[in-house]
Amino acid sequence: MIVTNTETIVGYEIIETKGIVQGNTVRAKHVGRDIAAGLKNLVGGELKGYTELLTESRREAMQRMLAQAQQLGANAVVNVRFATSAVTSGAAELYVYGTAVVVQPSS
């Protein structure tokens, strides 16, 4: 499955649009990560626990979007975008969406 944040794919032509596909996940903060983040805030640096949490969230949301595209018979997703939102105190949603399409190599 080809995935891109552009509207087109170099070397391919879109022959069919299947529709918008999306994937999301809602994750809550872990108390241990929160404590470590609070300590790291004092000295500065990367909050690795949160980085890992966001990486896992992006991967899971992307897998869900791609599964939906595959169910529609698409072989690519174009114009992919990510968004986040707070759901409740201590929990956030990571949302990914794009347009499922069928592409073929350009002649």
Choice between 22 and 85, residue whose per-residue pLDDT is larger: 22
pTM of the entire predicted model:
0.83
> With bands split at pLDDT 50, 70 and 90, how would you rate the model's confidence at 69?
very high
What distance in Å separates the CA atoms of residue 84 and residue 90, rounded to the nearest whole number? Answer: 13
Q: Which pLDDT does position 104 carry in this prediction?
A: 98
Highest mean pLDDT (candidates 7-21, 37-51, 86-100)? 7-21
CB contact at 8 A, 18 and 101: yes
Mean pLDDT of 63-87: 96
Tokens 């690795």 label which residue? 48
Domains of the chain: 2-105 (3.30.110.70)
Q: Which residues pair with 56 in a beta bridge?
A: none
C-alpha to C-alpha distances, 49 to 45, 94, 95, 100, nearest whole angstrom: 12, 16, 20, 32
Q: Residue 36: pLDDT above 80?
A: no
What confidence tier does 74 reach under pLDDT thresholds 50, 70, 90?
Answer: very high
Integer Cα distance of 65 and 3 in angstroms: 10
Supply the pLDDT for residue 39: 54
Q: Which two tokens stand for residue 40?
A: 């790291």
The closest alpha carbon to 26, from 80, 72, 90, 104, belongs to 90
